[in-house]
């Protein structure tokens, strides 16, 4: 059981492609609860990142996209200029995979992962601003030199320093046990707090429907609009929302 949990975390971190113990799983006690961030903590973490990466953190916390779906997100899969802003996770190339040290686009985790993720107004506006500042290149979130992000580099250079804090900068530690994947937990926790129906949560996070009630429930425009309004309110009530630190060039351009 412990071995399976460790392998599951390795899958979440992108270190292995799949958990070989998954189909052997039997009934067991609940897994230890993963940490999640408050809206204010999300802002703090994002503000400690270079601008583009800060927006990447915000996008994950308010959409629940997986790491590969964000790292491989292409501008052609975004629709930001109409009254229904959204991101399409494509079934063919909707996720970035690292295989044998090579980065390549491929399918997302499952058939249910190919989905449309609608955006609250504030996030669509931030992405439009980001596009205007970074008009070149096909990918939304890249390094200074346009390179794609590798999970391990991102974790070591940006994620862990943001959580660990920095006494010289006056940064207190925040949620030091969080992984980037826990932003998905953060997003779902917020949806639960906002009483978003389970069927909407499953669709948004790209999970398969499992229970009979899931198959007889449907996402309506009214449910979606209510959820987006709640996400906007969550953002409006969060703390100081500065995410404009300059992106400094690193040795690998990421």
User: What is the DSSP secondary structure assignment for residue 79, as one 8-state letter?
Assistant: E
Q: What is the pLDDT of residue 241?
A: 56
Beta bridge partner(s), residue 227: none
Q: What is the pLDDT of residue 34?
A: 87
The mean pLDDT of 192-220, rounded to a whole number, is 82
The mean pLDDT of 82-110, rounded to a whole number, is 95
Rg of the chain's alpha carbons, rounded to an integer? Answer: 18
Q: Write the pLDDT tens digit of every residue in 54-71.
A: 999 999 999 999 999 999
* Angle between helices 39-47 and 51-63 in degrees, nearest 10: 160
> What domains are defined for the chain?
1-32 (no CATH), 33-236 (1.10.443.10)
Greater confidence (29 vs 192) lies with 192
CB atoms within 10 A of CB 66: 25
Q: Write the pLDDT tens digit of every residue in 119-163.
A: 999 999 999 999 998 888 899 999 877 889 999 999 999 999 999
In whole angstroms, give the CA distance from residue 140 to residue 58: 13
pLDDT at 252 > cutoff 60: no
Greater confidence (210 vs 152) lies with 152
| Confidence band for 26, pLDDT divided at 50, 70 and 90 | very low
The mean pLDDT of 103-120, rounded to a whole number, is 95
Q: How many CA atoms within 13 Å lie on the side-chain side of 99?
A: 8
Q: Using alpha carbons only, give the angle 181, 153, 205 rounded to the nearest 5 degrees.
A: 20
Chain centroid to Cα 223, Å, comes to 22
Greater confidence (206 vs 239) lies with 206
Least reliable range by pLDDT among 8-17, 44-53, 115-124, 203-212: 8-17
Label residue 166 left, alpha or beta by phi (over 0 means left) and psi (-120 to 50 means alpha): beta
pLDDT at 41 > cutoff 80: yes
The mean pLDDT of 160-168, rounded to a whole number, is 96
Greater confidence (3 vs 127) lies with 127
Average pLDDT across the chain, whole number = 86
CB atoms within 10 A of CB 81: 9
Q: What is the pLDDT of residue 219?
A: 87
């Amino acid at each position: 059981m412990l071995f399976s949990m460790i392998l599951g975390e390795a899958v979440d971190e992108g270190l292995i492609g799949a958990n070989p113990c998954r189909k052997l799983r039997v009934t067991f006690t609940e897994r230890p609860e993963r940490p999640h961030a408050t809206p204010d903590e999300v802002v703090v973490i994002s503000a400690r990142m270079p601008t583009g990466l800060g927006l990447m953190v915000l996008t994950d916390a308010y959409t629940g996209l997986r790491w590969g779906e964000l790292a491989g997100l292409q501008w052609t899969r975004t629709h930001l200029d109409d009254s229904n802003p959204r991101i399409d996770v494509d079934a063919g190339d909707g996720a970035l995979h690292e295989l044998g040290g090579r980065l390549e686009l491929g399918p997302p985790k499952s058939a249910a992962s190919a989905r449309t993720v609608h955006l609250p107004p504030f996030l669509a506006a931030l992405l439009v601003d980001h596009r205007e500042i970074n008009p070149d290149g096909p990918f939304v979130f890249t390094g200074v030199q346009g390179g794609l992000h590798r999970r391990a580099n991102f974790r070591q250079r940006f994620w862990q320093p943001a959580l660990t804090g920095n006494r010289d900068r006056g940064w207190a530690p925040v949620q030091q046990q969080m992984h980037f994947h826990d932003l998905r937990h953060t997003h779902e926790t917020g949806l639960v707090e906002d009483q978003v129906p389970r069927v909407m949560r499953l669709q948004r996070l790209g999970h398969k429907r499992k229970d009979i009630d899931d198959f007889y429930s449907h996402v309506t425009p009214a449910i979606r609009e209510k959820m987006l309004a709640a996400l906007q309110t969550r953002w409006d009530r969060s703390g100081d929302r500065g995410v404009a630190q300059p992106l400094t060039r690193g040795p690998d351009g990421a």
